[in-house]
């Protein structure tokens, strides 16, 4: 796999582009937000994506997936990013789905993944407990009780938790907060006694939630991966989810860039197009360079996963470090160059601005991933 889209991927991109342009202009996301929609995305559209095979891109054919890779998924996520579609790829596919794909045995996969692929099952992953991303900062406790585990704790920033059918919960079976060892992953049903789910509205219009778990009982057969070694699954899930998020981010900031470029070519001030001002020309030319470099690095991270390279972690952190640095740069300049109108909720550029900040800080910001990259590179 190279750094450019293959013929098949180009076809997929054109399909996805037409689909989202027709069925999901940015306006749709605003309506969902403003109507305080109970679901927060469109279940119908999600099922349509299931029928098109997009939800199942990563999953094995045996559970109804297409068994393709991050190159293909990235194409679809990029188009989602262009129109800010809030459908639950992150929660259901990249986090929850990947946890079951990478940590679940065959019976669990056969039980849960077919409905995921068709768009009929929503999953999510509950891991975060504090503000800044820190994958092992988990205090929620799970204790063994015969053939069951009992989980008690709090989780925040659980995406789409309010409509999830199953929630993969990361809890501590040993050790203490901050340690990589001693984590385990449990599949918890949404209706499990002792589990309370509170919906939160996020700045980007997406759907967050926080959970309270009080002695929630989980069957020992519903553990993903190995008890105490859940971080092995978790790390792999985070890398893949991060690369998916990067693909979406590239779509979003490329769109913000193109809209700003167009604005420079059309908006007049002082009797001339503002795109004639050299200071703005230089700034947007530099943004273009940032964008191109980032696109290359993200594509390389997709390839790293799809080809099973041994530098997946490095490539992932390189991609997210760059995306999280470039996103606020482009989004900030997009608002600034739009001027006052960019401050209004009516102008869509602000929606990109907010979404890109949320993505920037999710799954590790630029600081986190530069640190991890440096560590992996031996300094």
Partner 1 sequence: MSTANLEEFRQEIRTWIDENLPSELRVGTRKDLPKKLLSQWNKALISRGLVAPEWDTEYGGGGLDRKQAGIVKEELNAVRAPKLRTFGVAMLGPTLLEFGTEEQKREFLPQIARNEVTWCQGYSEPGAGSDLASLQTRAVREGDEYIVTGQKIWTTGADKADWIFCLVRTEPDAPKHEGISFLLFPMKQEGVKVSPLNLIDGSADFSQVFFDGARAKASHLVGPLNGGWTIAKRLLQHERTQDGGSEGGITGAMKDTIFDLVKREVGLDARGTLQDPTIRERLAQQELEQLGLRLTMRRAGEEMRASQTGRDIASLGKYRWANMVKDEQDIAMMAMGAQGLGWSGDGFGADQLERTRAWLTTRADSIWGGTNEVQLNVIAKRVLKIPE
Q: What is the binding site for a copy of itself (CB under 8 A)?
A: 277-279, 281-282
Contact (CB, 8 A) for 58 and 69:
yes
Buried (b) or exposed (e) across 322-331, using 16+ Cβ within 10 A? bbbbbbbbbb
CB of 270 to a copy of itself, least distance (A): 12
* Binding mask of the shown chain, residues 318 to 337, with x at each position contacting partner 1 by CB under 8 A: x--xx-----x---x--xx-
Position 296 contacts partner 1 (CB under 8 A) = yes
Contact (CB, 8 A) for 121 and 165:
yes
Residue 194: enclosing H or E segment and its boundaries?
none
From 85, 113, 353, 356, residue interacting with partner 1 (rule: CB under 8 A): 353
From 107, 278, 308, 310, residue interacting with partner 1 (rule: CB under 8 A): 278
CB of 126 to partner 1, least distance (A): 12
Contact (CB, 8 A) for 113 and 63:
yes
Kindly give the pairing relationship between strand 223-224 and strand 183-189. Answer: antiparallel
Angular region, 225: left φ>0, alpha ψ -120 to 50, beta rest: left
From 65, 91, 275, 316, residue interacting with partner 1 (rule: CB under 8 A): 275
Residue 308 interacting partner from partner 1, a copy of itself, none (CB closer than 5 to 8 Å by kind): none
Stretch that binds partner 1, among 41-49, 82-90, 241-249, 260-268 (CB under 8 A): 260-268
Phi then psi for residue 170, to 5 deg, are -90, 125
Of 107 and 270, the one with the shorter C-beta distance to a copy of itself is 270
Query: Most distant CA pair in the chain: distance in Å?
Result: 78
Position 377 contacts partner 1 (CB under 8 A) = yes
From 62, 288, 309, 311, residue interacting with partner 1 (rule: CB under 8 A): 288
Of 4 and 38, the one with the shorter C-beta distance to partner 1 is 4
Rounded to 5°, angle at Cα 251 from 79 and 13: 35
């Amino acid at each position: 796999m190279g750094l450019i889209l293959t013929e098949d991927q180009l076809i997929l991109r054109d399909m996805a582009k037409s689909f989202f342009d027709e069925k999901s202009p940015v306006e749709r996301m605003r309506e969902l937000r403003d109507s305080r929609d109970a679901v927060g995305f469109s279940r119908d559209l999600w099922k349509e994506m299931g029928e098109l095979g997009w939800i199942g891109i990563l999953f094995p054919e045996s559970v109804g997936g297409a068994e393709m890779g991050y190159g293909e998924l990235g194409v679809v996520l990029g188009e989602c990013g262009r129109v800010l579609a809030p459908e639950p790829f992150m929660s259901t596919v990249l986090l929850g789905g990947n946890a079951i794909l990478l940590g679940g045995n065959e019976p669990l996969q056969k039980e849960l993944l077919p409905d995921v692929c068709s768009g009929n099952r929503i999953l999510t992953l509950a891991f975060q407990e504090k503000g800044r991303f820190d994958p092992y900062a988990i205090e929620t406790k799970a204790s063994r009780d015969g053939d069951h585990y009992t989980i008690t704790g709090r989780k925040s920033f659980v995406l789409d938790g309010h409509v999830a059918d199953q929630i993969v919960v990361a809890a501590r079976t040993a050790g203490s907060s901050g340690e990589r060892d001693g984590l385990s992953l449990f599949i918890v049903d949404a209706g499990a006694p002792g589990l309370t789910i509170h919906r939160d509205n996020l700045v980007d219009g997406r759907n967050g939630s926080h959970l309270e778990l009080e002695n929630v009982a989980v069957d020992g057969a519903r553990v993903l991966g190995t008890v105490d070694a859940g971080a092995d699954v978790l790390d792999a899930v985070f890398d893949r989810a991060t690369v998916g998020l990067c693909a979406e981010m590239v779509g979003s900031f490329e769109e913000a860039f193109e809209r700003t470029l167009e604005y420079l070519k059309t908006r007049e001030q002082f009797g001339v197009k503002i795109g004639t001002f050299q200071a703005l020309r230089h700034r947007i030319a530099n943004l273009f360079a940032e964008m191109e470099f980032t696109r290359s690095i993200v594509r390389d991270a997709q390839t790293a996963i799809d080809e099973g390279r041994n530098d997946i972690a490095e490539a992932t952190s390189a991609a997210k470090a760059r995306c999280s640095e470039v996103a606020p740069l482009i989004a900030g300049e997009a608002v600034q160059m739009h001027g006052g109108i960019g401050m209004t909720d009516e102008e869509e550029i602000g929606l990109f601005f907010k979404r890109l900040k949320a993505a920037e800080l999710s799954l590790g910001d630029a600081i986190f991933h530069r640190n991890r990259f440096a560590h992996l590179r031996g300094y």
